[in-house]
Structure 1
């Protein structure tokens, strides 16, 4: 199959009707989407909803930009001009350094010479563009907890819309806003001094329960998963076939699950073989919740005490990979994707990841984010240990890169200015949620 095997849809309108249904992975219940639904109303064990598109084969809309080229396989009813997307290329030099004969890179970030234009430097923008495109006409205030990358992506994308959005991040993630300029008044940032990602999630859950507010939903949001699934669609368009091995650093593993779902759709079209790519998920040593859950052991669920958790996460190389609540055992979650694909979860120390950052810059010519360096390291070790054959067709997701390149092109470095700063020790204090509610005086409490 060649790289032009995708069909072309040249007549799709800018504003789409909903061209898909939502299907529960547990009970098969099918429903129309309202742009906000996260879960099946059925009484059963937790299970993801999955989109079922009316077009059974992938079709490219060449007049659309970035990830919206694949909008017939995205749950969107509108698009946003200037959207970025994934750039896929064969990496011969890095491949030789890692001992691979066919290494493909899915680059997500800022690299103008390659045509990469994700302005916050990570693939989290793919989620933000897809979530925006899925929303109903008059949405409630979206609430997004984040360690920093997701919040920066939503700040960048949603500042170009009229949708109100609340971002909740630990102070340690504010540096990831350095390349985000002109945050709109409709986007409000709340930071937690001394807190971590788990604190952000807990606070966001409380705010999301308010009338007029709604959780963006993490992995439960089909738009977040299908936005990230365009990484694989871009790769298949470039490669002409599915990879045999897919490698990605993971926190919640939404991107890896999304790639597995996209591979399943492609195979169902009858044109891409029968085997989904083997998923290799990569994490830090020290705090690796997905690794612990997959490999078991007495500490399978990670540190429970908050002080212990904060201390441990503060020492890791890539703090975006420390989600303590990954969607592991539910139907359609991490465990199912790993078992179905014959995958595994790997980890590496920070020293090795730092060396991988230098290797990538030397061989490919661009800076990469810590999480991406973890993935490069784990892939190289997998080849050395015989887990991945030197002749395998491998797709490596560089989930973030080019931030140093972005910063060099900006006049001044920017520090994000939260609308509200909270100390983690005061998060349970009475009135905290109301203080956040007051940041959005126009929120529709009847929503």
Structure 2
């Protein structure tokens, strides 16, 4: 696979706006340094504690035409070029589900496949929102993008990169292959590599590949486009509701989607958009975050509830067993951006939010409830989120009359598969066996 050389990193900006084709800046939350964006930057150059760069836009909230993520292109870090027609989810008031939960004002942001509702994310996951934004941010001649995934992200990038002809290497656990079937036909510019391990093994191999000449790590949560793309789900929901919700509920693995929602809500609040009702002043008008993980593997829940500086996760067999037992494998990130500046701990503190865990039985029951009441299937992570919401309502943490936004980050896959069954099993270009080191495996992938 050929690639263009990586574009050089830019230095701190000397003007309050970015280049003409990128009318925004990247800002470090630690030292407040500003950077003009080259479409690839992931970190600040200064030596200080880790922090997630954020985008600073000069424009007000001005949605454009259409219904996909590029409706909010003024708040996306795009390169100023013509963009493809994007696909998005749908927001609706879930009255029947609300009654079942004891909530008077429940809204659902459905980021999946549900054509009757207007949700057109073919892979059935909100990861398509981030993939579309990441590709729109890339420079004109990008290096080969390297993406590690537990399955959903790889499906989204497989589809987006194949449709736009962007060279990439996708690295996933062998067990994730079935999740890629919904992405459709894979173009030659997309290489697929599997590892005989879990998500952490995929990340280690992807990091080694990204260090090779002509390759570039997509960056995960560190990529501002990934977060701002995911944040369009909150923007669309706020438009539909007419104000920011009092509560925002989502399942989290890395927490990128929750960070994105919090940042998007902050931009809306700063621009004068009607905010959440919060007489106690706990969140400053921002939605209170209720973030959910699997009970069997909940490192951030434990860190939050025990006041730990960082989630503590080792790499032993007990951890691998806990990950294997998780209802939603996509939520099993071992090293989430928890304590970094702008990370999960910070957004929970700012919003007066909390982290909860739900077990498999609760998630299965929640998924069954959603299918019965709403008529569409939920992805495992979304079922965990709904189970967490049920727990929070039962405990009185979410008052019955508050406006609640439940982000269904995946759904409609069974519906999509019934309409268009996959024509063939997804086959990787290369399978990496257990025991082969990341450096040796990266050589096999790149030949360098």
TM-score (normalizing by structure 1): 0.91
Q: Deviations over 1:317-356 (max 9, x none)?
A: 1111110110011110111000000000001110111011
CA contact (8 A) 2:250 2:382 kept: yes
The 5 A counterparts of 1:308-323 are: 308-323=318-333
* Residue in 2 that maps onto 1:342: 352
CA contact (8 A) 1:86 1:230 kept: no
Q: Secondary structure of 1:104's match?
A: strand
* Residue in 2 that maps onto 1:53: 57
* Residue in 1 that maps onto 2:159: 156
Paired residue for 1:206, among 208, 223, 232? 208
Is 2:158 the partner of 1:134? no
Q: Structure 1 residue 258: deviation in Å?
A: 0.6
* Residue in 2 that maps onto 1:380: 390
Is 2:142 the partner of 1:118? no
RMSD: 1.6
Is 2:311 the partner of 1:304? no
List gaps (5 residues or longer) in structure 2.
Answer: 1-19, 276-283
Paired residue for 1:228, among 225, 230, 234? 230
Q: Deviations over 1:80-116 (max 9, x none)?
A: 4342112100000000001100000000010010111
* Residue in 1 that maps onto 2:39: 35
* Residue in 2 that maps onto 1:239: 241
CA contact (8 A) 1:84 1:118 kept: yes
Distance (whole Å) between structure 2 residues aligned to residue 255 and residue 424 of structure 1: 31
* Residue in 2 that maps onto 1:402: 412
Q: Structure 1 residue 299: deviation in Å?
A: 12
Distance (whole Å) between structure 2 residues aligned to residue 297 and residue 74 of structure 1: 34
Distance (whole Å) between structure 2 residues aligned to residue 65 and residue 212 of structure 1: 35
Q: Structure 1 residue 79: deviation in Å?
A: 5.2
Distance (whole Å) between structure 2 residues aligned to residue 172 and residue 131 of structure 1: 25
Q: Secondary structure of 2:371's match?
A: helix
- Between the two proteins, the alignment pairs up a number of residues equal to 420
Q: Which runs of 4+ in 1 moved over 4 A?
A: 297-300
Q: Secondary structure of 1:355's match?
A: helix
* Residue in 2 that maps onto 1:6: none
Q: Structure 1 residue 216: deviation in Å?
A: 0.5
List gaps (5 residues or longer) in structure 1.
Answer: 1-15, 439-444
Is 2:111 the partner of 1:108? yes
Is 2:179 the partner of 1:176? yes
Q: Structure 1 residue 180: deviation in Å?
A: 1.8
TM-score (normalizing by structure 2): 0.91
* Residue in 2 that maps onto 1:442: none
The 5 A counterparts of 1:408-427 are: 408-427=418-437
Q: Structure 1 residue 302: deviation in Å?
A: 4.2
Is 2:197 the partner of 1:187? no
Q: Structure 1 residue 237: deviation in Å?
A: 0.8
Q: Structure 1 residue 413: deviation in Å?
A: 5.0
Paired residue for 2:93, among 90, 94, 116? 90
Paired residue for 1:391, among 401, 426, 442? 401
Distance (whole Å) between structure 1 residues aligned to residue 310 and residue 224 of structure 2: 27
Q: Structure 1 residue 403: deviation in Å?
A: 0.2
Q: Deviations over 1:29-63 (max 9, x none)?
A: 111100000111112111111101110x211111x
Q: Structure 1 residue 375: deviation in Å?
A: 0.6
Q: Deviations over 1:107-137 (max 9, x none)?
A: 0010010111101000000000000000000
CA contact (8 A) 2:110 2:411 kept: yes
Is 2:108 the partner of 1:99? no
Paired residue for 2:378, among 333, 353, 368? 368
Distance (whole Å) between structure 2 residues aligned to residue 304 and residue 51 of structure 1: 33
* Residue in 2 that maps onto 1:432: 441
